[in-house]
A and B are shown apart, each in its own frame.
Chain A
C-alpha cells in the first residue's frame, strides 16, 4: 500500500501478547487514516456495553497516509477510543513528531487492548516491540516521563506519548502529551475526550517510539513520487508566501486574542460578560515580553509553538508556552490577566496531564456556582473559588490531577458538577464536553458546530468561526464567506467545513496552515494512488462524518436530548462585540439536518445517504436489513 506502512501493531496488555496485522486496505481506501480510519475499526469493535475505562475499550493510535512524506504540516496523529468523558466516540489529534516516528518504525497505528497488571510502557523500534515496567515512573509528569524514558534507554531519538498523574487517576479529561528531545519541537497535546484516562485505565504510562534513526527504518514508497514532489513544492511555495502562516509564526494561536476579543468571540467570566482587557493575555504581549523561541511539529512551515524559558518567576518545562485556548480558559473566563502565571498554569495542565479547556472551564464553572451561592462550604475542602485568583485555580489543577479534595468532584467535569447542585443546564458544555473558547454568540455557526460534533463542544471538528469571523472561506470546496450573525443559508457551508476538517483529521493535517485543497488532493492522490480529486474529496469527509454519527448512535447517542445550546449561551450579552446576539439554534439545526439528510426524530443519517457514501453495511445496522 503506497504511502502506508501497511501494518497495525496490536498489543494486549492483559496477556502481554504483541502481534501485528495487515492494515485493511478497503478501510484505508474509504477512510484514509487518522481518526477516520480509527473510527472505522472502532465501529466494529465498540458497542453500547463497552465500558470506556474497562479493558475492552481499545485505545487506538493512528497516523495518516501523508505522515512522514514531508507534506507540509501532515505530521500529526490521532488517539481514539470510547470517551470516558462523553461516553461517545472519542478522538484527540496531536502534533509533535510521534505520528511520523511511528510510521518510520513500521506501523500505521497501534491498537491497545486489555489492562496491564503493573504500570507499564510500550517501547517500539524497528528492531522490536516490548512491554516494559513503568512503576518507577508512577506519579511523574508527562514531560518528565518522556525525558526519563529517553535517558534510561540512552536514546534521545525516542519520541514519547505519555500520561501524567491525571491520566493515572483516570480524570475524565486527562490528556496524552507527545514530546521529543528536539529543542525546537512543539508539544503534541491529545487533549480532548479523556484519552489519557483510557490510557491510565490500562495501566499504560507511555508509548515510546523510535524509527527515524534506525537502519531498519521504513522507507516509504509513494505511488507517484515525482507528481507528489511537484504538488508538495507548490504547497510549500504557497505557504511560504501566505500571510496567515506569517501571522501564526509571529504571534502564535493566541495572537488572534485581541481581534477575536473585539468581536466578542472570547468568553469572559464564565460566558456571562462580553468585554475584557484581552491585550493582557494575548500572544502579542507574549511575543513582546517573554517569548524566547518558536516550536514546530514534523514538516511544519508555521512554527506556532511558543517557546518560553521563563515566565516571570516560573520556569516552564520544555519551555512550552500556552496556546490561545489555555489563555482564554484560565484568563478571561476567570478574570485573570497575568500572562506569566497563565503560562505557568498552562504548563502545569500539560505536565500533570489535564486538558486545559475542560479544566479551566470546570474550575470557572465552580467559581460561578460559588458566586451564585450554589456550591456549599462543605464541598470546598480548603479550595479557593473566586474570580481573578490564578493561585487558587493553579491549586485546583493540581487537586484535579490527583483527585484530591474538591479536585475529586471537579475531575468529573462541569456537567457532573452542575448536576450535583441541580443546575446541570448552566454548565457550558455539549455531551459532557466543555465548550471551546469561541462563543457561538459571536459566530452563530459554532452553535451547530458544537452541537453536532461527534465528540461534543469541540472546535477541532470545525473551526467554522474562522470562516465567520476571520473571513477564511475555502472557495474551491464551496465554503463561502458568511456573515457571523447570519442564520439562514449557512449550514451547507458548515457541513462542508466539517467534512473538510474530517479529512484534515484523517490525513492528519494541522488546521493552521491552509495550502490549497487542490494541492492536498494532488499530494494525497500521488502518494497513495487513490482516485482523489477536488471533486470527490469532500465525499471522503462526509463518509467519515456520517460514520462517526452512526458509531455514536450505536453507542446510545440520543440526538434530540443531546443537541442543545447551553443555557448561558442562550442568554444575550450586555456588552462587547457579540452584544445582544443569540444564535437561532433550532432554525439552524433543522436546516443542518436537511443539508445532511438526517432524520430529525432519531438523529440517524438516512439509509439513502449512507448507501450513497458506500456505508451500506452501516445503513443495515442502523435501519435494519432490507
Chain B
C-alpha cells in the first residue's frame, strides 16, 4: 500500500483516523469547537506544489467528525482558516515547528477566534503528534 502524500485526500483521511483513535487527542481537544481550513500554499521558490491545497477538518469536542480535501474553497465557511506555505506546513507535520510558535512568529496565519486557539494549545500539540504517526511522503 502506497504512503499518503502530504497534502492529499488520503493524508487528511489518515489524520482523521489517527485523531479518532487517539485518547490523548480526545482528552486534549475535549473543549474544542470549530471546523478548519488548513491552507497549504505554494512556496515561491519551489514548484512541487503548484496551487494552494485546502484541507477541511471538522473538529468537535475531541473528535474529528469529517475531513477531506476541498477543491472549491468557497464550498465551506469554516470557523478557522490557518494558512502557510508548504515548507512551513511540512515542518509542522514533522514536528519541527510548533503550530503556536508558527503563529507567534508569523510563519502561519490564522483567521478565526484567536482566544480559542491560544487556550487549546495542548490539542494543537496532540494534532501534531497524530500527524507524525502518519507515514507520509512529501512532495520535496
B51 at the interface (CB under 8 A from A): no
A246 to B106, CA, bound (A): 10
Task: Count chain B CB atoms within 10 A of each CB in A256, A259, A471, A472 and give the residue with the most.
Answer: A259
A39 to B104, CA, bound (A): 33
A279 to B31, CA, bound (A): 12
Q: With CB as the reference atom, state the residue of chain A lying closest to B121.
A: A259
**Are the C-beta atoms of B118 and A251 separated by less than 8 Å?**
yes
**Are the C-beta atoms of A471 and B97 separated by less than 8 Å?**
yes
Known contacts: A255-B115, A259-B118, A279-B119. The answer to whether A470 contacts B110 by CB under 8 A is: no
CB distance from B16 to the nearest CB of A (A): 24
Q: With CB as the reference atom, state the residue of chain B lying closest to A291.
A: B115
B114 at the interface (CB under 8 A from A): yes
Residues of B within 8 A of A243 (CB): 103-106, 108-110
A256 to B110, CA, bound (A): 16
A414 at the interface (CB under 8 A from B): no
Task: State which of A247, A288, A469, A473 has its C-beta within 8 Å of the C-beta of B103.
Answer: A247
B98 at the interface (CB under 8 A from A): yes
B46 at the interface (CB under 8 A from A): no
B8 at the interface (CB under 8 A from A): no
Within 8 A of B (CB), among A144-180: none
A108 at the interface (CB under 8 A from B): no
CB distance from B73 to the nearest CB of A (A): 21
**Are the C-beta atoms of A259 and B115 separated by less than 8 Å?**
no
A262 to B128, CA, bound (A): 15
Within 8 A of A (CB), among B33-56: none
**Are the C-beta atoms of B114 and A247 separated by less than 8 Å?**
yes
Mark B98-140 against chain A: 1 for CB-CB distance below 8 A, else 0: 1011111110111000110011111001000000000000000
CB distance from A443 to the nearest CB of B (A): 13
Residues of A within 8 A of B106 (CB): 242-244
**Are the C-beta atoms of B121 and A258 separated by less than 8 Å?**
yes
Residues of B within 8 A of A471 (CB): 97-98, 101-102, 104-105
**Are the C-beta atoms of B118 and A255 separated by less than 8 Å?**
yes
Contacts A243-B103, A255-B115, A259-B100 known; 12 new A-B pairs at CB < 8 A: A243-B109, A244-B104, A255-B118, A262-B122, A262-B125, A282-B118, A284-B119, A288-B115, A470-B100, A470-B101, A471-B98, A473-B105
Query: What are 21 residue pairs bridging A and B, where the CB atoms are less than 8 Å apart in the complex?
Result: A243-B105, A243-B110, A247-B104, A250-B114, A251-B115, A255-B114, A255-B118, A256-B104, A258-B121, A258-B122, A259-B100, A262-B121, A262-B122, A283-B118, A284-B115, A284-B118, A285-B119, A287-B115, A470-B104, A470-B105, A471-B104
Nearest first, the 5 A-B pairs at minimum CB distance are: A284-B119, A250-B114, A471-B101, A259-B121, A287-B115
List residues of A whose CB falls within 8 A of some B CB: 242-244, 246-247, 250-251, 255-256, 258-259, 262, 279, 282-285, 287-288, 469-473
